[in-house]
Amino acid sequence: MWGQLPEVPFLELLARGAAAGEYEQPALRARAAGAWPDELAALERARTLALRVRAELEGRRRREAELSALFQTAHDLAGLRDLDAVLRAITQRARSLLGTEVAYLTLNDPAAGDTYMRVTVGSVSARFQQLRLRMGEGLGGLVAQTARPYVTDDYFQDGRFHHTGTIDTAVREEGLVAILGVPLTLGNQVIGVLFAADRRERVFEREQIALLASFAAHAAVAIDSANLLAETRAALAELAAAKEAIERASEVHDRLTGLALRGGGVPDVADALAEVLRGRVEFVEAAQVPVRAEGHAVRHGERWIAPVAAGGQVLGALILHGHPRLDPVDQRTLERAATVTSLLLLARRSAEEAERRVRGELMDDLLDAPDREPRLLRERAARLGADLDGDHVVLAARASRAEAAGRGRLIAAASHLAATRHGLAASRGAGTVLLLPLPPGETASSTAEHVARHLGTAVHAPVTVGASAVVGDPAEHPGAVAAAHAEALRCLDALRALGRDGQGAAAEDFGFLGLLLAEGRDVEGFVDRTIGAVAAYDTRRGTELLRTLDAYFAAGMSPARTKDLLHVHVNTVAQRLERVGRLLGADWQEPSRALEIQLALRLRRLSG
């Protein structure tokens, strides 16, 4: 009645790694479908077998993960050279492997006949961190004396080892309850103990004890290697200095090669060089290089300067601080780093130019080919991380410096800004055009001001920016982008004609002049912005404030003559004009505002 082999659904669950709870579902579905009891029993047997297989697979995966972690630990430790770094790495990895709250490591002191705390991770007690244990005292002393792992689920309730007041006080102050200790052995000699501990009762499983013991065996070898290396360095001090310099050069060469292959940046080179040469390294642009250097690192005061150049052009310099005396090997290392830096700068410049070219091509298509398919435009924009949906603004930017270098810096800065704002940029004539999404709360005017400041700072010269009105969904209406660009250019020209170089503005910022600049000649919008509040008040209250304004300007702004034109008392005129002032603002009679109001009144009459 069920209609399929009972093993099939469980094989499918095993294949996709389903959770244990999902193994109940086949029987539930079969029961709901009216399966026979023998079919349900077969499903139950299949489920039991499947769960066994799942548990076995999980156990194997867990063991593989533990072995992988152990192998990685051994690999990491093999590359360490400093003893303190080795010991801290051992302790941190022990805590990570077992997931405990605290891990610590003690080393034997043969001269004193005890063990002392060398490294702690997760400890909060100063007394505990300074603890010393005699051989045979406490759990650690027992581990060190017997060279065997010991574990306790509850330290204070465990009577298998010798408790002392000093040790118990330190353990109580740290709050430890469950402790596992594993000896660090080298041959038949115990050189220390590695601990993992929790501040609550916990049962350490046999596999965890074995895993930590295996880890401790690797760690002991690493500690011994570090000690031998330290002894060798102490015995061969003179040779060590030369060896260290060569190793630094080799290390920085390898790291710089790796950085170049991975596509790292200039800061990565500076950080790697600073770490290897043990000093502060910074990169400065060509204009900030304090001295002229031809291909070689030169000393300048307390600093060393290596020029970064390519094809005869100085791109900048690497400056090393804190090393007034630099041996020849380290000088060559600094020069090699400068060479790698020049390669990275050239690679970055090529990548930026390629991306800028692709972004510029899409911008050119929006401006010059308005019949492009919207779907294709969106796909191209998405590949560049640009957004062509929603409200946008088109901006025309031009720097005061018209030379080629100035234009190159301007398009580079505009392209970077467009990329960070998910927009587009392209070079047009002597300037640049940008298409930027308009964030909520921003206007075309505020965006133009921000872009002018940003680009001016980037190119170290005033940049004038004109903005269009808002363009909705450029991908859906690509033809609107070209019209908006023309409007932005008119705003840019108006700013330059008015002597406002280095500023940004949109058509809406020019008052009635904006009617001449705006692409759509938004007469209705201009009238509404200028006298809309007065018109709305007349509509709501049935007043005649607009008629009074007309008469007031027709009478040369004289209340006495206005009352004759309207055939009302002069006090009535004064009250109406006071109301107008509240609606339009206290500066409504200033010459510039008055001119705009009169123009708006006349346009309103002409538009019916």
Give tens-digit pLDDT for 118-162.
999 999 999 999 998 887 788 887 888 788 899 999 999 988 888
Q: Span 369-516: which CATH code?
A: 3.30.70
Q: Which amino acid is at 12?
A: E
- Name 372's Cβ contacts closer than 8 Å, sequence gap at least 6: 365, 366, 478
Residue 289 to residue 24: CA distance in whole angstroms: 72
Q: Is the separation of the CB atoms in 381 and 388 below 8 Å?
A: yes
When mean pLDDT is compared across 147-151, 217-221, 455-459, the lowest value belongs to: 217-221
CA dihedral 82, 86, 87, 92 (to 10 degrees): 140
Q: Is the separation of the CB atoms in 459 and 406 below 8 Å?
A: yes
Beta pairing partners, 392: 437, 471
pLDDT tier at 62 (50, 70, 90 boundaries)?
low
pLDDT score recorded for residue 303:
80
Task: Enter the tokens of residue 422.
Answer: 């998910």
Mean pLDDT of 291-303: 73
Q: What are the helix (H) ranges across 304-431?
A: 328-368, 374-383, 404-420
Q: Span 241-344: which CATH code?
A: 3.30.450.40
Give tens-digit pLDDT for 171-213.
999 999 999 999 988 888 888 899 999 999 988 888 888 888 8
Is pLDDT at 442 greater than 60 in this prediction? Answer: yes
Between strands 463-467 and 504-506, the pairing is: parallel
Helix (H, G, I), strand (E, B) or coil at 54: helix
When mean pLDDT is compared across 157-161, 178-182, 351-355, 440-444, the lowest value belongs to: 351-355
Task: Enter the tokens of residue 372.
Answer: 């492009």
Q: Using H for helix, E for strand and C for coil, what is the string for 540-580? A: HHCCCHHHHHHHHHHCCCCHHHHHHHHCCCHHHHHHHHHHH
Chain CA centroid to CA 479, Å: 36
CATH for 83-234, options being 3.30.1330.10, 3.30.450.40, 3.30.200.20, 3.40.50.11540: 3.30.450.40
pLDDT score recorded for residue 100:
92
104: nearest Cα among 113, 115, 95, 114? 95
CATH topology match: 83-234 vs 241-344: yes
Task: Enter the tokens of residue 387.
Answer: 């957004």
Mean pLDDT of 495-522: 68
Residue 105 to residue 113: CA distance in whole angstroms: 17
pLDDT score recorded for residue 75:
65
pLDDT score recorded for residue 170:
93
Is pLDDT at 257 greater than 80 in this prediction? Answer: no
394: nearest Cα among 467, 454, 448? 467
More confident residue, 410 or 331: 410
Q: Which amino acid is at 314?
A: V
Beta pairing partners, 319: 282, 305
Q: Is the separation of the CB atoms in 515 and 522 below 8 Å?
A: yes
Mean pLDDT of 268-286: 77
- pTM, to two decimals: 0.42
pLDDT score recorded for residue 226:
74
pLDDT score recorded for residue 530:
82
Q: Is the separation of the CB atoms in 83 and 223 below 8 Å?
A: yes
pLDDT score recorded for residue 459:
84
563: nearest Cα among 594, 571, 534, 542? 571
Domain coordinates in residue numbering, the chain = 7-62, 83-234, 241-344, 369-516, 523-606
Q: Is the separation of the CB atoms in 90 and 211 below 8 Å?
A: no
End-to-end Cα distance, the chain = 83
431: nearest Cα among 492, 386, 388, 375? 492
Phi, psi of 460 (to 5 degrees): 60, 40
pLDDT score recorded for residue 519:
47
369: nearest Cα among 492, 221, 478, 497? 478
Mean pLDDT of 217-221: 79
Cα–Cα distances in angstroms (integers) from residue 316 to residues 9, 295, 310, 338, 381, in the given order: 66, 12, 10, 9, 34
Sort 101 into a burial class: Cβ within 10 Å, 0-12 / 13-18 / 19+.
buried
Beta pairing partners, 536: none
- 404-420 vs 444-459: helix crossing angle, rounded to 10: 130
Give tens-digit pLDDT for 561-572.
988 888 889 899
Task: Enter the tokens of residue 447.
Answer: 């965006």
Mean pLDDT of 328-355: 72
535: nearest Cα among 550, 553, 521? 550
Q: Is the separation of the CB atoms in 147 and 183 below 8 Å?
A: yes
Residue 187 to residue 185: CA distance in whole angstroms: 6
Cα–Cα distances in angstroms (integers) from residue 584 to residues 117, 154, 326, 541, 579, in the given order: 79, 81, 73, 17, 9
Q: Is the separation of the CB atoms in 120 and 91 below 8 Å?
A: yes
Is pLDDT at 324 greater than 80 in this prediction? Answer: no
Task: Enter the tokens of residue 398.
Answer: 């031009």
Is pLDDT at 31 greater than 80 in this prediction? Answer: no
Q: Is the separation of the CB atoms in 256 and 337 below 8 Å?
A: yes
Helix (H, G, I), strand (E, B) or coil at 454: helix
pLDDT tier at 492 (50, 70, 90 boundaries)?
confident
